[in-house]
Amino acid sequence: MAIKYTIDGIEVIAEQGETILSSATRAGVEIPTLCFSDKTAIYGACGVCVVEAEGVPKLLRACSAIPQDGYVVRTDTERVLRARKTAFELLLSDHTGDCRGPCKLKCPAGTDCQKYVNEIKDGKYYDAVATIYDVFPLPASIGRVCPHPCEDACRRELVEEPISIAFLKAFAADKVLASDNKYKITTGADSGKRVAIIGGGPAGLTAAVKLREYGHAVTIFDQQPKMGGMLRYGIPQYRLPKEILDAEIAIIEEAGVVMKNNVKLGKDIQFNEIVKTYDAVLVAIGAWTSVPMSVPGEDLDGVLGGIYFLEKLGHGERPVVGEKVAVCGGGNTAMDACRTAVRLGAKEVYVVYRRTRNEMPAADIEIEEAEEEGVIFKFLTNPIEIYGENGKVTGMKLQKMELGEPDESGRRSPVAIPGATEDIKVDNVFMAIGQVANCEGVEGVELTRKGTILCDEMTFRTNIPNVFAAGDVTNWGAGIAIEAIEEAIKAAFCINNFLEGDEVRYKATYFVEREVTPEEFEDREKQHREKMPGPTPEERIKSFMPVYDGFTEEQARAEASRCLECGCHDYYDCKLIKYANWFDVEPARFGGSKRERPLLEIADVIEHNADKCVLCGLCYRTCEQVEGKTFIGLYNRGFETVINPMFPRIEAAAYCATCGKCVDVCPTGAMRKKF
């Protein structure tokens, strides 16, 4: 006899003896479970499928509870959600693993580095590019200029050297750009909504693609002659050939993004007009104003902000520099400026930096290549005066510094050495100590004390309801391109929510992470990083030719093969991490020491990771109840219970090689085929 009851307001008809879980699933109601399978007997181990029925004092386990006629069942009461969350937190409190590789976790934009590196290893270059485009649309450009924080986290460094993740990104993107099968961005169904983006740099271009994927019409306004922002006007040709950038922007334009250049706010169009015309507006104008050094002589002819110097080059000009040039600063803009000065004919180029090389924020490779090209680094010096004759700079006085005591953060601040100064003769001084935003023309938007746009850190909304901001112009100021891209992705997500009438705030994904030691990789064969081919330093300084030739296909695949594949092999099918994010878990509430157990071989082809196991029992129950075998089972009691191989071993080796059902049913990736 059929039984009628409701669950979350939906009428459900259950057959006689059918459980709440199976009948609700059939009716389209998802109830989380880790230990249930319709092919095995009810087990009820995980405790996450609890529901509440009116008039029933205790919570019911949906996998085993039989509904009664007229039951009113809820899956979303406070009591149910609290119980489920606690159950997941207890499971996670002793769950150890790497949901995602540390490279992905360290990438500000969250690019799945491990995935595309392995696709490159297998020669699947288009797939690798598609993996990158899932996150952002400029792989060939960013692969050339990113200071690659992903590589700082690469565990291959514990063996010998980190993988060349950024170069591999550029390699795959170049291969696809040069092919007849160029990547095409898939756009969503037309939403009828229109979004304006002010600023065509990496943040604006990324947000435009994401919003097109959501189905919104997008127009980008930019004051420069071409799109690209700092990628075009702040990074020299030798690092990023503009034909590469042009090709990637063309792909974005083909996705239906309307691009309007030479449009200056307050002159060619008014901000208020844009706000009224479009359903949402994203301000991503970057930070184009060079920070002054506030020393006497900054107004002399020959003294210029580093970014202004590079921008002139980006516009096709060839700035005239003298024989002796000083660049003040230690970031990548300073490196670009000093190396550009060398290429423009300067005979002596100094970099003046008030800390030591260890504190320089510029990428190590940029510093090394600048040194190779003859740049002279003057560490622990700080400009205190720029002087000249007849209004033209002729020299600079430097204060010698030393590092003082560490502050609360552990960083040692530079301190002037009394009476210790030095003079250098220069014809040009380029200031590259930082950049700030210029929000002129963005009327009505509230600014911070630093002059950046004040926006909510989780929704990216400003004080104007339909105006959002992202990138270098926001609260935190200028950073690296991939950080601007990160904000653009989040802002596009929030803009889409806003346009759909939803105020959902951006929420970071929860991942399980683990600490590792070099001892874990002692058995790995050393395979050093592939050397990037390119011209010699003597050849490089003669022109703005690219400094790298790019990997050959053989090199790229060899480099990609060095990946240790740290992230979980079963991440995309892992129920535990899916539900952990569903219920906003906080496992630290039940924090304590976690057990560390070795991988266990199950037969010859399957291994079991006890540190990932939640003892749902699906593996051994499937082996016994579905396959009629007893090759695995439970060993020990209580907290020390683990999955263990049983006997006979020889029969298991042959059978398991073609079965693998224990791996298929595992909800956490604890079971894995070895090959």
- Which pLDDT does position 526 carry in this prediction? 93
Evaluate if residue 648 carries a pLDDT over 80.
no
Evaluate if residue 337 carries a pLDDT over 80.
yes
Residues 598, 98 contacting (CB under 8 angstroms)? no
Reported as a pLDDT band with limits 50, 70 and 90, residue 628 is: very high
DSSP β-ladder status, 376-379 and 72-74? unpaired
Residue 437 to residues 92, 201, 285, 478: CA-CA distances in angstroms?
A: 43, 13, 8, 8
Degrees, nearest 5: CA angle 229-231-235: 120
Written as six digits, the tokens of 99 are 């949901």
CATH of segment(s) 595-673: 3.30.70.20
Q: From the options 3.40.50.2300, 3.10.20.740, 2.60.40.1260, 3.10.129.10, give the CATH code of 3-92.
A: 3.10.20.740
Instruction: Calculate mean pLDDT across residues 614-634.
Output: 93
User: What DSSP letter does each residue of 478-526 carry, written as one string?
Assistant: ---HHHHHHHHHHHHHHHHHHHTT--PPP-PPP-------GGGGTTSPP
Reported as a pLDDT band with limits 50, 70 and 90, residue 477 is: confident
Evaluate if residue 654 carries a pLDDT over 90.
no
Residue 380 to residues 140, 297, 356, 411: CA-CA distances in angstroms?
A: 36, 21, 6, 15
- Which pLDDT does position 600 carry in this prediction? 87
Which among 28, 21, 74 is positioned nearest to 46, based on CA atoms? 21
Mean per-residue pLDDT over the chain, rounded:
94
Q: In the chain, how long is the greatest CA-to-CA distance?
A: 103
Instruction: Calculate mean pLDDT across residues 648-669.
Output: 88
- Which pLDDT does position 506 carry in this prediction? 85
Domain boundaries, given as residue ranges, for the chain: 3-92, 321-435, 595-673
Verify cis geometry, omega within 30 degrees of 0, for the bond prior to 648.
Answer: yes
Length of the chain: 675
pLDDT digits (tens, 9 = 90+) for 21-47: 999 999 999 999 999 999 999 998 899
pLDDT digits (tens, 9 = 90+) for 270-319: 999 999 999 999 999 999 999 999 999 999 999 999 999 999 999 999 99
When mean pLDDT is compared across 188-197, 430-439, 515-524, the lowest value belongs to: 515-524
Instruction: Calculate mean pLDDT across residues 480-494.
Output: 96
Task: Say if 3-92 and 595-673 have the same CATH topology.
Answer: no
- Which pLDDT does position 663 carry in this prediction? 94
- Which pLDDT does position 351 carry in this prediction? 98
Evaluate if residue 610 carries a pLDDT over 80.
yes
Evaluate if residue 409 carries a pLDDT over 80.
no
**Angstrom distance (rounded) from CA 425 to CA 640:** 73
If one counts every other C-beta atom within 10 angstroms of the C-beta of residue 106, the result is 16
- Which pLDDT does position 221 carry in this prediction? 98
Residues 43, 621 contacting (CB under 8 angstroms)? yes
Evaluate if residue 120 carries a pLDDT over 80.
yes
Q: How much of the chain exceeds pLDDT 90, in percent?
A: 86
Reported as a pLDDT band with limits 50, 70 and 90, residue 422 is: very high
Which among 291, 297, 302 is positioned nearest to 334, based on CA atoms? 291
Which among 54, 53, 51, 55 is positioned nearest to 21, based on CA atoms? 51
**Angstrom distance (rounded) from CA 54 to CA 72:** 6
Evaluate if residue 615 carries a pLDDT over 80.
yes
Evaluate if residue 593 carries a pLDDT over 80.
no
> Residues 155, 161, 166, 171: is their CA dihedral positive or negative?
negative
**321-435, superfamily in CATH?**
FAD/NAD(P)-binding domain (3.50.50.60)
Instruction: Calculate mean pLDDT across residues 56-63.
Output: 96
Q: Which is more confident, 579 or 599?
A: 579
Evaluate if residue 1 carries a pLDDT over 80.
no
Evaluate if residue 592 carries a pLDDT over 80.
no
When mean pLDDT is compared across 68-82, 277-291, 327-341, 508-522, the lowest value belongs to: 508-522
Written as six digits, the tokens of 338 are 């000093």
Instruction: Calculate mean pLDDT across residues 646-655.
Output: 79
**Angstrom distance (rounded) from CA 317 to CA 308:** 12
When mean pLDDT is compared across 115-119, 201-205, 601-605, the lowest value belongs to: 601-605
> pTM of the predicted model, to two decimals?
0.91
Evaluate if residue 331 carries a pLDDT over 80.
yes
Evaluate if residue 336 carries a pLDDT over 90.
yes
- Which pLDDT does position 413 carry in this prediction? 86
Q: Is 202 exposed, middle or buried (0-12, 13-18, 19+ CB in 10 A)?
A: buried
- Which pLDDT does position 408 carry in this prediction? 74
Reported as a pLDDT band with limits 50, 70 and 90, residue 150 is: very high
User: What DSSP letter does each residue of 208-256 carry, written as one string?
Assistant: HHHHHHTT-EEEEE-SSSSS-THHHHTS-TTTS-HHHHHHHHHHHHHTT
- Which pLDDT does position 604 carry in this prediction? 81
Residues 309, 449 contacting (CB under 8 angstroms)? no
